[in-house]
Amino acid sequence: MRDTTGYSTTAVFAAAARAAHPIVDQEPHLLEDPVAQRLCDSTSPSPLSFQVEHPEAPVLAAARLSACARSNFADRTLLDLGIDQLVIVGAGLDTTLQRVHDRFDGQAWLVDLPGVLAWREELFRNAGVADFAHHVAADLRNGLDPHLLKMAGFNTRRPAVILWLGVSMYLPPAQCRRFVADLSGLSHGSVLIFDYVLSPRHRDESGATYANAVATMAGKAGEPWLCTTAPSDARRWLEEAGWYVHQDIDEASVVPPEFWDRQTHLKPMKLIRLVYASLRVERRPT
């Protein structure tokens, strides 16, 4: 989550993983993301090329599974809820809105560091892709002030869906707790969809191998993993802030069991959990 040139290695890695999945993996696919492919192809060399050339590499296959499972989960949940305000936190190169825009009748806000948003805007422009959302510059290390969203046209008196995916692991635990507490100031009925990394003792062997590889890569890129936790602790953070947890599941659980039988490279792993929670306490709008 650095803000030097704005370039985010992890955002590029995730976009390449989403783009590669329908190209190198067997049907049924968890996700089709042609916009992510266009973003990758607009840069040289394309970050997609390594995924396509080495689909069998365990770290790349695991990245495809993780990026596509969480995006699949978020897309389905968002559309099922029918809430017309969407906030994407730590937006990077997220393409949720591009995937669902023909079925999502509402407005969206992208929150990230100012340098990252500027880099995103340039990359989308170079790829000839429309970005339909309002940009909100914020440093998540300082939490998220709902007033920043309000200044960008967000209605704090109405519920919203907050996507906080691929971000929590880059914040210290205390800042993660502060973040979910900040969000609890939103309107009653708002929904939080996020993921978190399991602490080492809760991982299986595949999860541990992937965690070591990605944490090393992210750390070298200036985006080290800072937060891992147990499900009981994650639930406590949310409940203490007024959130009701509807789902807290392993990401491999969001795909049908028969999916694995058809895959050559993708294997389930126990490392990342997906959470769907809603505000259960009526709060005064800010």
| pLDDT, mean over the chain | 91
Q: What pLDDT sits at residue 220?
A: 67
| Residues contacting 7, CB < 8 A, separation 6+ | 119
Return the CATH class of domain 9-279.
Answer: alpha beta
Q: What pLDDT sits at residue 286?
A: 41
Q: Token digits for 117?
A: 């948003």
Which pairing describes strands 85-89 and 134-137: parallel, antiparallel, or unpaired? unpaired
**What residues pair up with 193 in beta bridges, in sequence order?**
163, 276
| Residues contacting 111, CB < 8 A, separation 6+ | 87, 88, 89, 90, 91, 136, 137, 138, 140, 144, 148, 149
Bond preceding residue 28 cis, omega within 30 of 0 = yes
Q: What pLDDT sits at residue 285?
A: 41
DSSP state, residue 198:
B
Q: Provide the residue type at 209 as one letter.
A: T
Phi, psi of 37 (to 5 degrees): -65, -40
Q: CA distances (Å), 174 to each of 85, 171, 203, 206, in order?
A: 27, 8, 22, 28
- Rounded-to-integer distance, Cα 264 and Cα 58, Å: 11
Whether the predicted model's global pTM rises above the 0.85 cut: yes
Q: What pLDDT sits at residue 5?
A: 56
Domain locations in the chain?
Answer: 9-279
Q: What pLDDT sits at residue 284?
A: 42
Residue 114 burial by CB count (10 A; 0-12/13-18/19+): exposed, middle or buried?
Answer: middle
Are the C-beta atoms of 185 and 157 separated by less than 8 Å?
no
- pLDDT tens per residue across span 223-251: 788 999 999 999 999 999 999 999 999 99
Q: What pLDDT sits at residue 221?
A: 65
pLDDT above 90: percentage of residues in the chain = 79
- Rounded-to-integer distance, Cα 18 and Cα 60, Å: 11
Please provide the distance, in angstroms rounded to a whole number, between the alpha carbons at the two ends of the chain. Answer: 27
- Rounded-to-integer distance, Cα 74 and Cα 66, Å: 12
Q: Which residues of the chain have pLDDT under 50?
A: 1-4, 282-286
Q: What pLDDT sits at residue 89?
A: 96
Q: What pLDDT sits at residue 3?
A: 45
